[in-house]
Amino acid sequence: MTTAEVAARLIKLCTENKFEQAQEELYADDILRIETDGTQITGKQNTLAAEKKFLGSLTAIQCDTSAPQVAGDFFSIVMNVGLTFRNGMQVASSEICVYKAEGGKITFEQFFRSPQAARPA
């Protein structure tokens, strides 16, 4: 897959809330993820475990994205997310997601987001 094809597939899966499938299908075994707080997670299995833990803390998620901006091996999207946590808190955020795709797999991702205020359900 080209970088543009990887981006299109990622967007399709994310907007269908198929986050785990996206990682299983598109992430390289040695992916590096950098969270908004600077935390680094290395490896597909560790990234997938972190995602499963996060998704397990939610009762609902809504996701939409911008069209991808592709430059060589890199692409970025704006992801708007609405989350409802098990404790009833709701959070809306907008983040810029930057990815690197090599050999048809995502090898790097980093997220940039300003904190959003949580509100009771």
pLDDT at 4: 98
pLDDT at 18: 95
| Average pLDDT for the chain | 93
pLDDT at 104: 98
DSSP annotation of 52 reads H
Positions in the chain whose pLDDT score sits under 50: none
Angle at 54 between CA 113 and CA 52, to 5 degrees: 130
List phi, psi (to 5°) of 73. -85, -5
14 burial level (CB within 10 Å; 0-12, 13-18, 19+): buried
pLDDT at 30: 98
pLDDT at 119: 57
pLDDT at 42: 98
pLDDT (tens digit per residue) in 58-87 = 999 899 999 999 999 999 999 998 999 999
* Range list of H helices, the chain: 3-15, 19-26, 44-56
pLDDT at 93: 87
List phi, psi (to 5°) of 106. -80, 120
Residues β-bridged to residue 65: 79
pLDDT at 118: 54
Token pair belonging to 25 = 């299908």
Domains defined for the chain, CATH in brackets: 3-111 (3.10.450.50)
